[in-house]
Amino acid sequence: MNPLLALQVAEHVRNEVREHPKRWGCLTLFFLFGPVIACVLVAVLIIVVIAGGADGSNSSPGHVPGIPDAMLTAYQQAAQRIGGIRPACAGMRWSILAGIAEVESRHASGRTIAPNGDISPPILGPALDGSGVGGNRTPIRNPDGTFARAVGPFQFLTTTWAGVEQDGNDDGVRNPHNAFDAALGAAVYLCGIGPRDLTDQRQLRAALLRYNASQAYVTQVLGNIERYDAVALQPAVKASGSAKIVIDAAMSQLGVPYAWGGGTAAGPSRGVRDGGVADRHGDYNKIGFDCSGLVLFAYAKVGIALPHNSRAQFMAGTPVPKEAGLVGLLPGDLVFYSPGLIHHVGVYLGSGRMVNSPHSGAEVRLDTIDLGEYAGGRRLL
């Protein structure tokens, strides 16, 4: 720059500062501290984004029919956290843990799962005394001499749990009867201590065979995993309070066989003879539910006793007229079918769906409500 021009510019700036000190003071502060302020703003933005992402990763992104939401969350969180415990293990996913837990405990079916993951009453396998129960022919004892039992939703032996125990819910306790602890412990056990890629079918089979040395078991679990890998996570049922308890109870029985006359407040029970269709399907030899038995069981969870008969259940609670359509229903309401007499009942989930035990030869499942046979609903809550 020309020296004379530089002096003229400096003189002009000096005069401007003298005449407008506040304006130039602010401008000076901006040049001095602007970069610092910008860095702080960027840092805050990054923290907010990371925090938001962390919240999203720790929550259940959806709902899988047949898996209680608390159990699904435990599987998902275990799959996310295993990388920090076994960094050489790749390919862990919630469907692998769900596939095992379905076989081991049917996702803690029939139990109460607290928000922190504690399961009650505890899930206890038979005493491994070599009697053949559960396929056990060799007695297995605990260090104190008592016969060992598999415990919790992932059915760990005490000695096995001692080697893989984890605190999945960060409460300072490592409990095989807690969904979060047990799921993370199962992930650790499957990963082992060396490099492992569970997206490789051969390595996955080896991990499952290590979990249970039975080819039939491995085949069954792989079938479950394949099914869960293909499932589309559905939005969680929009219910709370007693309605959610009822729905969760009914959903926990998905896959249980239909058995005419089956089902009590305590859970599935042996069916009875009907002299017709049910007998031809062998319902009297099955442990399961008929439609009203499933409803009876679900509502017993909130202290409501119902008769074991869909026509009698149609007389309970407050009517939701057929003419009101499905928009008049709330999650947890009972929905009834009747081409003449009432002959079927299910628990309404929302979005035109219900959970029900439909007929002999089927299992407890989700169905879209058939408006051609819909006879109205009943509200008990």
Q: What is the model's pLDDT at position 332?
A: 96
Q: What is the model's pLDDT at position 263?
A: 97
Angle CA(114)–CA(255)–CA(278) in degrees, nearest 5?
130
Query: Domains in the chain, ordered, with CATH?
Result: 69-230 (no CATH), 241-379 (3.90.1720.10)
Contacts of 172 (CB under 8 A, 6+ apart): none
What is the number of other CB atoms lying within 10 angstroms of the CB of residue 101? 27
Q: What is the model's pLDDT at position 376?
A: 95
Q: What is the model's pLDDT at position 320?
A: 96
- The Cα 200–Cα 244 span in angstroms is 38
Cα-based distances in Å from 223 to 67, 104, 209, 226: 16, 14, 14, 5
Contacts of 313 (CB under 8 A, 6+ apart): 292, 295, 296, 306, 307, 334, 336, 345, 378
Q: What is the model's pLDDT at position 35?
A: 55
The residue whose two tokens read 């859970």 is 267
Say what the pTM is: 0.52
Bridge partners, residue 197, by sequence: 90
- For the chain (length 381 residues), average pLDDT per consecutive 10? 44 46 47 50 39 36 77 92 93 95 93 91 84 67 80 92 94 95 97 93 95 93 90 66 92 88 96 95 96 97 96 96 93 93 94 92 89 94 95
Closest to 302 in 3D by CA, of 366, 347, 268, 270: 347
What is the number of other CB atoms lying within 10 angstroms of the CB of residue 85? 14
- The Cα 108–Cα 102 span in angstroms is 8
Cα-based distances in Å from 370 to 142, 216, 325, 336: 54, 38, 12, 10
Q: What is the model's pLDDT at position 110?
A: 86
